[in-house]
Amino acid sequence: MSDDDAARKSKKDSSFEQRLRAARERQGLEPRADAAGKGSGGAAPTALGVGMRVGVELVSAMVVAVAIGWALDRWLHTRPVLLIVFVLLGGAAGIANVWRLMGPGRMPGTK
């Protein structure tokens, strides 16, 4: 490979890298260079914020599950069988959401 070919390949690779970085910034997958270190967007989460999010995840999963179970029981006249099933499913979904949020290596705001 000649020096001219190597230079052309290097220029092509750097152009691709620049286009890839620009596309990732447009999609929100990479922080913008001009916004790095500014504002609270990249700040580490507080304990209160994480605790509130965990509570909301658990409560919202249970509320949705109870509503679905109650509605299905009322519609199918099977009280309280589906309500009990959906309470169990809602609890499992809430725990799965919290696990996804707090599981090993997944703490929000950290990499």
Q: What is the pLDDT of residues 58-95, one digit of tens each?
A: 999 999 999 999 999 999 999 899 999 999 999 999 99
CA angle 57, 84, 72 (to 5 degrees): 90
Section 2-6 average pLDDT: 63
- What are the sequence ranges of the domains in the chain? 1-35, 46-111
The amino acid at residue 96 is A
Q: How confident is the model at residue 6 (pLDDT cuts 50, 70, 90)?
A: low
Q: What is the pLDDT of residue 9?
A: 61
* Maximal CA-CA distance, the chain: 80
Model confidence, pTM: 0.57
Per-residue pLDDT of 21-40, as tens digits, reads: 888 888 877 765 555 445 55
Distance of alpha carbon 32 from alpha carbon 47, whole angstroms: 27
